[in-house]
Amino acid sequence: MSLRVITFDAYNTLINYGKELIEEIAMNITKYLKSLDIEAHFDHVYEIYMGLDREIRLRRVVEMVYVPPMDNVRTFLERLMRKYNIELNERMVIDVANIIANTLLGSGNVKLNEDAQYVLMEMKSDGFMIGVISNVIFWSSSVTRKLLDKFGLSRFIDVQVYADEVGRAKPHPAIFERAYSLLTHGVEPDVAIHVGDGFKEDLLGALLDDVIGVYIDRTDSVVSSGSPTELIRCRAYAVRRLKEVLLIPHIVSGCS
């Protein structure tokens, strides 16, 4: 019996969010700070949050750096409080971390990808072992696990691996190696595929770990005509929609 495994990124692959969620987080943080008599401006909160988010994403690709979520929340607040000449305390860090997590868990701006449940169900029925490999920035893996439960996806997933549990973030090979080790128990898989919306974190990360990479290209940055598009023969592909991932096993079956 063949061993086939597939892993998925979590955010904007299985679960979608956008600018509206970040605005909601920034508004809730602003309200909290005003409750402490800190006259924080929404624009400042949003800009500093987004600026640090971009910085973290760049550093983990360029330098392969991982920073725990709570440290990122602390850095965000340090920069924000510096703007208002206010001394930061640890209670504020804990409170804001909880605000971010609770906003995600209760927000209508976090939505299930319309193809996610169908794709996982089809992959599972086709005999694939299924995993999730996800980075974290401002919230811990426990939040993502709860969201996957909330949206009914956990029942299809055999293994979940997160940056804050491994101490490494995509595209570092270590986080991919941990997931595939848990999925295969050391047995060489016949097929190993990783799917995600990050060109550098997901596609290049998969290639660094000698896994077939599938990039979800919703902006047509690399898909110019038909989808799936083969980017590197038998190694890397791009699709416009998550549902098109179901075609990849058939395509790669012609590579052996």
What residues does each domain of the chain span? Answer: 4-16+111-253, 19-106
The CATH homologous superfamily of the domain defined by 4-16+111-253: HAD superfamily/HAD-like (3.40.50.1000)
Please give the Cα distance from 181 to 33 (Å, whole number). 44
Q: Which helix (H) or strand (E) holds 232?
A: strand 229-232
87 CB neighbour count, 10 Å cutoff: 7
Cα separation, 9 vs 162, in Å, equals: 10
Span 221-246, pLDDT tens digits: 888 777 899 999 999 999 999 999 99
| CA–CA distance, 106 with 115 (Å, rounded to integer) | 22
Question: Looking at residue 1, what is its pLDDT?
Answer: 63
* Mean predicted confidence (pLDDT) in 11-15: 98
**Tens-digit pLDDT profile for residues 36-91:** 999 999 999 999 999 999 999 999 999 998 999 999 999 999 999 999 999 999 99
SS3 percent helix, strand, coil of the chain, rounded to 5, is 50, 15, 35
Q: Cα(126)–Cα(156) distance, rounded to whole angstroms? A: 12
